[in-house]
Amino acid sequence: MLRTEDTSVTVYRQDYTPPAFAFGHVDLLVELDAERTVVTSRIEVKRLVKDTPLILHGEEQELLAVTINDEPAGHYSIDEDTLTLHEVPARFTLSITSANRPSANTSLMGLYVSGGNFFTQCEAEGFRKITYFLDRPDVMTTYTVTLRADKAQCPVLLANGNLISKADLPDGRHEAVWDDPFKKPSYLFALVAGRLSCIEETITTGSGASKLLQVWVEPADLDKTRHAMDSLIASIRWDEARFGLELDLERFMIVAVSDFNMGAMENKGLNIFNTKYVLANSETATDTDFANIESVVGHEYFHNWTGNRVTCRDWFQLSLKEGLTVFRDQEFSADMMGTASGRAVKRIEDVRLLRQVQFPEDAGPMAHPVRPDSYQEINNFYTVTVYEKGAEVVRMYQTLLGRDGFRKGMDLYFKRHDGQAVTCDDFRQAMADANGRDLTQFGRWYSQAGTPEVSALTRYNPADKSFTLTLTQHCPKVGIEISNEALDKQPFHIPVALGLVGPDGRDLPLQLDGEAAPQGTTRVLDLTERTQTYRFINVDAPPVPSLLRNFSAPVALDIHYTDEELAFLLAHDSDPFNRWEAGQRLATRTLLALVADAQAGRPLVADAKLVKALGSVLTDETLDPAFREQIWILPAETYLGERMGIADPAAVHAARQALRQGIASALQSELTDIYTRHRATGPYSPDAASAGRRALKNLALGYLIETGDAKALALAERQYAEADNMTDRSAALTALLNSDSPARGEALADFYMRFSDEALVIDKWFAMQAMQPGRHGQHVIDTVQSLMQHHAFTLRNPNRARSLIFSFCTANPAQFHAADGSGYTFWKNQVLALDAINPQVAARLARALDRWTRFTIPLRDRMHAALQQVAASSMLSRDVREIISKSLGQAG
């Protein structure tokens, strides 16, 4: 095997040492110029360890001056990424002047230019591209920042904290001074400068303080800011009500930028957002966009306490802030849904993401514990494991301790650690101490990777009316654990929420052997051993067990149900999550059988039991439309591939399409009826109920299109033409792209013309084409290749690159995994091209071949070759090299 030359340094969690220096107040003077920005820092330094040199991080800067107590520093040296001051006094004032070139910064880390304006991104290690510093999260200090720039070019000058003063300077320049009174790590530093406009509101928070809220955007986008502002206000209210946490600064700003590596960034008081998570109006944004904006605005706002006031000691602790903050944003969004059914829909969406993306990650070459033990490039560890599995781990505290117990734990966490940089263990200890619980074993969720498998065996004994449940857990070694022979994985502490559904569809009372009386109808079992048996008594009739209600733990549950039992749970389970789950199990079973049929060349016939069950859900008016829609979304192709011994994307696609067509023709009149009755009448509103009706209606349209019926095409064409909102218009266009309608081309052209000035909508236009299934042997790769030449396409804008390239490589499996390997060649070329511009974005794309060892031999050989070709490049960034070498490391 060709090996990548791995010169990257691995950083280990065990090597953590506290900083040898403390920083007091920092003054920063930033003289902005796109070609040469000059930064002067003044730092109060205190040495904590004798005879230690001060080693500062710094990258891609031109060092201009270093002084100690205002005298030129004597002994110092620099290399590519450090500045070392060899002999320093116990206390001194350090001043450093250096220059950087924002216009040339395409990595979008540090200080860069987007649309002629200046922005920063410092997490995780971008501050070192702005000035030499102890750029690590456990060095926390207060900052005063003076920004100077040409007043005409940069009328707006923003930084963290509170605005202290503004003044005009000679030569058409001006300055603004900002002060952040809260200690923070350098990764939360931010500045923004340029021609921007804002909407603003003043609100009064719980303590009676008045706060200024602003949403800053390019002037042309002001008409798309209202929803972000409303989401911010809702977030502030929610954090007060649910966690007693108040906004601490006088003002809070959100700024939107179109060139951005991820979703958004929680810089203290100055959140910087990808435009995708700020800008929305009914014409340009879908219901999903509206919901995502609410959730991301919430997420970043909630970081103000979970992340900023209490931060991470080191980057291995990333989930301390991310897992916790994702859990908080999930709960916020669920509360905003307003109904129990709405909460379930939100939970289903979150679990779907976890299973579709995190479970595979946790079984692949990048598998890592929620608190990783090592990394080469920390940016590669902003993963679904750290975020989404981390959120599940936080959710399990709440499941185990109850809502009140969880709140007590949070209160103690802030009482102990406000203003500190701490660890995941500190969080767990606060939860344990506040509740008088021993959570030692629970700590394994942070240290062991992999998805635990829980298998359930059940037995009902009519003679003594007992029901016995035996749960067994097992977690195979994954990723880099495999090479660690000494590692012996230990059982997890798994909360298993359970109910027993009686023959009439009602929950039975739950009384464990040894208990005097039943205790409720859903209860949480603590599974802590490898195998445990639970015996329920006084169970009057043979029940169908409903396990892992509301998905009480991030595990894979293996339990045998008959098709009838699944249909029964789908119809009756009082836990809406498990109703959905039963439907998914039924559909997965049917689909995997169809995949086998497809592989064997047998006819593909939709299972009548599944069609019947789905038909009853569709027309069940007691269920909210949004919930019905969730049940109707068939398991994704990638999910099905993961469930197979050897993944075969073409067979999976054929099976899933055949099932969709079978369902659509069997239920055509019901679907038409649903479509007609869920058309909106009033003006557009993105609220959960209206969005749910639109979702069900558009789902029906998607199925109807599968019939190829002229009436269905006419519905889609008409919906496209008449839509008064983006949800309906884009759903209609997607339907047309999945059809033989002669109107497809016309609609695509119309869509482009209509929205040519709306970058985020043009992203959708690229994405929809990249994700289209491809009709009659159409090779979507050809469409993608020609779209790469479109004048509106650029690799430099991450949203645009994601819209076309990532959509094709990660969201269109049957086309990407085309037998001729054309998808992999395309992938290789794009990884290399992107890496030269933006390593973080390239490394994300590099992960599209993570699971190469799981595919049919011809595909895996071609993927292997493509990986080796990338590995052979001598120019790879640390980011991409880590991903590729880990992928290749798991030899076939």
Using CB under 6 A as the criterion, which residues of the chain lie in contact with ligand B3K when the complex forms? Answer: 123-124, 262, 264-266, 299-300, 303, 322, 379, 382
Out of ligand B3K, Zn ion, none, what residue 295 binds, judged by CB under 5 to 8 A for its kind, is none
| CB-nearer residue toward ligand B3K: 379 or 399 | 379
Q: How far is the CB of 676 from ligand B3K (least distance, A)?
A: 42
**C-alpha–C-alpha distance, residues 142 and 28, integer Å:** 11
**C-alpha–C-alpha distance, residues 176 and 373, integer Å:** 42
CA 875, chain centre distance (Å): 29
| CB-nearer residue toward ligand B3K: 95 or 107 | 107
* Owner of token pair 């557009």: 684
Residues comprising the chain, all counted: 892
| CB-nearer residue toward ligand B3K: 300 or 573 | 300
Out of ligand B3K, Zn ion, none, what residue 329 binds, judged by CB under 5 to 8 A for its kind, is none
Q: How far is the CB of 344 from Zn ion (least distance, A)?
A: 24
**C-alpha–C-alpha distance, residues 298 and 304, integer Å:** 10
Out of Zn ion, ligand B3K, none, what residue 432 binds, judged by CB under 5 to 8 A for its kind, is none
Q: How far is the CB of 498 from Zn ion (least distance, A)?
A: 32
**C-alpha–C-alpha distance, residues 106 and 85, integer Å:** 30
**C-alpha–C-alpha distance, residues 578 and 784, integer Å:** 39
Q: How far is the CB of 247 from Zn ion (least distance, A)?
A: 17
| CB-nearer residue toward ligand B3K: 266 or 287 | 266
467: phi then psi, degrees, rounded to nearest 5: -130, 120
**C-alpha–C-alpha distance, residues 586 and 841, integer Å:** 37
* Owner of token pair 């103000």: 304
The residue type at 44: E
| CB-nearer residue toward ligand B3K: 247 or 654 | 247
Q: How far is the CB of 263 from ligand B3K (least distance, A)?
A: 6
Strands (E) in 205-287, as ranges, are 210-217, 251-257, 264-265, 270-274
Out of ligand B3K, Zn ion, none, what residue 145 binds, judged by CB under 5 to 8 A for its kind, is none
Going from the C-alpha of 655 to that of each of 360, 637, 701, the distances in angstroms are: 21, 9, 20
Residue 645: other Cβ atoms inside 10 A? 6
| CB-nearer residue toward ligand B3K: 43 or 394 | 394
Q: How far is the CB of 370 from Zn ion (least distance, A)?
A: 14
Contact 427, 320 (CB under 8 A): yes
Determine if the peptide bond prior to 124 is cis (ω within 30°): yes
Pick from 214, 187, 403: nearest CA to 308: 187
678: phi then psi, degrees, rounded to nearest 5: -105, 15
| CB-nearer residue toward Zn ion: 322 or 377 | 322
Out of ligand B3K, Zn ion, none, what residue 123 binds, judged by CB under 5 to 8 A for its kind, is ligand B3K
Q: Is 300 annotated in the active site?
A: yes
CA quadruple 257, 260, 265, 267: dihedral positive or negative? negative
Q: Which of 123, 300, 377, 717 is catalytic?
A: 300
CA gyration radius for the chain? Answer: 28
274: phi then psi, degrees, rounded to nearest 5: -60, 135
621: phi then psi, degrees, rounded to nearest 5: -70, -10
Q: How far is the CB of 109 from ligand B3K (least distance, A)?
A: 8
| CB-nearer residue toward ligand B3K: 384 or 501 | 384
794: phi then psi, degrees, rounded to nearest 5: -150, 145
Q: How far is the CB of 353 from ligand B3K (least distance, A)?
A: 15
Q: Which of residues 281-340 bind Zn ion (CB under 5 A)?
A: 322, 325
| CB-nearer residue toward ligand B3K: 264 or 801 | 264
Out of ligand B3K, Zn ion, none, what residue 629 binds, judged by CB under 5 to 8 A for its kind, is none
Q: How far is the CB of 60 from ligand B3K (least distance, A)?
A: 17
Instruction: Extract the tokens encoding 653.
Output: 């696609």
Contact 45, 93 (CB under 8 A): yes
Out of Zn ion, ligand B3K, none, what residue 124 binds, judged by CB under 5 to 8 A for its kind, is ligand B3K
Q: How far is the CB of 640 from ligand B3K (least distance, A)?
A: 30
Q: How far is the CB of 301 from Zn ion (least distance, A)?
A: 11
Contact 279, 224 (CB under 8 A): yes
* Owner of token pair 């654990």: 481
| CB-nearer residue toward ligand B3K: 321 or 744 | 321
Out of ligand B3K, Zn ion, none, what residue 850 binds, judged by CB under 5 to 8 A for its kind, is none
| CB-nearer residue toward ligand B3K: 319 or 451 | 319
Out of Zn ion, ligand B3K, none, what residue 135 binds, judged by CB under 5 to 8 A for its kind, is none
The 10 Å CB-count burial string (b at 16+, else e) for 674-711 is bbeebeeeeebebebbbbbbbbbbbbbbbbbbbbebee
| CB-nearer residue toward ligand B3K: 694 or 802 | 802
**C-alpha–C-alpha distance, residues 92 and 67, integer Å:** 10
User: CA angle, 198 as apex, 192 and 200 as ends, to 5°?
Assistant: 120
DSSP string, 272-333: EEEGGGT---TTT--HHHHHHHHHHHHHHHHTTTBTTTBEESSGGGHHHHHHHHHHHHHHHH
Going from the C-alpha of 48 to that of each of 105, 421, 712, the distances in angstroms are: 35, 17, 73
* Owner of token pair 């390997």: 821
CA 791, chain centre distance (Å): 30
Instruction: Extract the tokens encoding 185.
Output: 């790590």
Strand duo 251-257 + 210-217: pairing:
parallel
Q: How far is the CB of 588 from ligand B3K (least distance, A)?
A: 31
Binding site for Zn ion (CB under 5 A): 322, 325
Active site residues: 300
